Amino acid sequence: MARIRLADRLAAARAERVAKAALRTRREIQAREGAKVLVDGRQLVSFCGNDYLGLSQHLDVVSALQEAAAWHGVGSTGSAGVSGHHSEHAAFEREMAQWLGYERGLLFGSGYQANLAVLQSLLEEGDVCVQDKLNHACLIDGARLSGCELKRYPHADVEAAMRQLMSRRDGAALLATDGVFSMDGDQAPLADLALVARAQDATLYVDDAHGIGVLGPEGRGSLAVAGLTSREVPLLLVPLGKAFGGQGAVLLGSAALVSHVAETARPYLFSTAPAPAMAAAMRASLRLIRTQPWRRAKLASLVARFRRGASARGLPLQESFTPIQPIVLGDNTRALAASKSLETQGYLVSAIRPPTVPEGQARLRVTLSCDHSEADVDGLLNALAEAVKSRPDPVTA
């Protein structure tokens, strides 16, 4: 049997993506000021970023980054276990743990790295990991990396999660879910999942990338909304690339759980630690999240305004009351055409297509931010009404 040439496989895969209108291209952002971005020399209002509270450009956050870089340099110089664990990292971990009511925090370079590390470290062959089918890819990949049995229940189906846990009684069990789902914007049924986990002796692990900072008192996220604490949710991941406006992620849990991850997780042990300056910047973001509730109030007002306007214009809305407002169009070509139409009208909204979402679920993923004005939202709604009703040109889309 002849060996497959990698170049032939890649060419065939690309041809298939072209046929399905599934090619992905990166847009170069030349400059950014608030919600406005410069793309190809043209200023657009962006509705596709995750800077929900507008903190990525906040003067306090930028100043903290600059000052810490001036004192401590750019890089951490090594992995956390060798020479990379800095006092800025330690201070931020302590502050995050205190804020959210956990014993210990552990800072990672990214949420993706963190989920690979956590699941690979805690689970092994003979264990089971039960996950929502719409969980982020890094949770799925982390379970696969661990060698455990991965079971995925239909979206938000608590009874199915219970059945899947009951079907495997040996080994350790971990129930993992997003707090807010990144493509649909809806919230996980955390209170019910916590009951299931307790009944089945499973550890509940929540990745609250899109809930933290945005939901609940002080922005304490999906757990606070559901009335849950570290007792019901022993492991919580707080990614920092959304409401915090930065980069990285903090794992929160008991000292025993977090210490085990820190001492055994290969993605943590063999990665250079994050820059100390980024940790300093995220401490500044945390202070703003805790002390400026007006940001969440404004964001909630913009979400409500968008949903009222979308409903009045007959746009297809999902059951989301978070800053993530998907407009599901189904067909890849139609989603691309709608995105292109919005850009001609001055708005940057990316078309999200498989495999990021299921087949037939291509969409415009609108995300709202404190940086947007009411006029921005109203303008986008008018542009969306025009973009969605138009049919794509099969030749140019």
Residue 140 lies in a domain: yes
At residue 389, the pLDDT reads 83
Give the count of domains, the chain. 2
pLDDT digits (tens, 9 = 90+) for 36-87: 999 999 999 999 999 999 999 999 999 999 999 999 999 999 999 999 999 9
Residues 195 and 84 in one domain: yes
Residues 242 and 334 in one domain: no
At residue 99, the pLDDT reads 98
At residue 393, the pLDDT reads 53
Highest-scoring range by mean pLDDT, 14-23, 345-354, 385-394 = 345-354
Answer for the pair 14, 25: CB distance below 8 angstroms, yes or no. no
At residue 117, the pLDDT reads 98
Residues 128 and 249 in one domain: yes
Residue 169 lies in a domain: yes
pTM of the model: 0.95
pLDDT (average), residues 127-156: 97
| CATH at residue 297 | 3.90.1150.10
Residue 318 lies in a domain: yes
At residue 243, the pLDDT reads 98
Residues 211 and 323 in one domain: no
User: Is the pLDDT assigned to residue 123 strictly greater than 50?
Assistant: yes
Residue 2 lies in a domain: no
Residues 143 and 274 in one domain: yes
pLDDT grade, residue 168 (50/70/90)? Answer: confident
Domain boundary among 291, 313, 335: 291
Residues 247 and 111 in one domain: yes
89 among the known binding-site residues? no
Residue indicated by tokens 């999906």: 222
pLDDT (average), residues 296-322: 97
Identity of the residue numbered 164? Q
pLDDT (average), residues 236-241: 98
Residues 270 and 322 in one domain: no
94 among the known binding-site residues? no
At residue 2, the pLDDT reads 86
User: Is the pLDDT assigned to residue 396 strictly greater than 80?
Assistant: no
Residues 83 and 188 in one domain: yes
Residues 216 and 343 in one domain: no
Give the residue with greater pLDDT, 389 vs 295: 295
User: Is the pLDDT assigned to residue 35 strictly greater than 80?
Assistant: yes
| CATH at residue 88 | 3.40.640.10
Domain boundary among 241, 257, 291: 291
Residues 303 and 189 in one domain: no
Domain boundary among 240, 257, 291: 291
The mean pLDDT value of the chain amounts to: 95
Domain that holds residue 328: 19-48+293-389
pLDDT grade, residue 394 (50/70/90)? Answer: very low
Residue indicated by tokens 């943590």: 268
User: Is the pLDDT assigned to residue 122 strictly greater than 50?
Assistant: yes
72 among the known binding-site residues? no
Residue 121 lies in a domain: yes
Contacts of 10 (CB under 8 A, 6+ apart): none
Residue 6 lies in a domain: no
User: Is the pLDDT assigned to residue 395 strictly greater than 70?
Assistant: no
111 among the known binding-site residues? yes
Answer for the pair 363, 352: CB distance below 8 angstroms, yes or no. yes
Residue 5 lies in a domain: no
Residues 27 and 78 in one domain: no
At residue 397, the pLDDT reads 38
Residues 314 and 247 in one domain: no
Residue 81 lies in a domain: yes
pLDDT grade, residue 25 (50/70/90)? Answer: confident
Percentage, residues of the chain above pLDDT 70: 98
112 among the known binding-site residues? yes
For residue 44, give Cα distances in angstroms to 31, 36, 87, 214, 324.
11, 6, 40, 25, 19
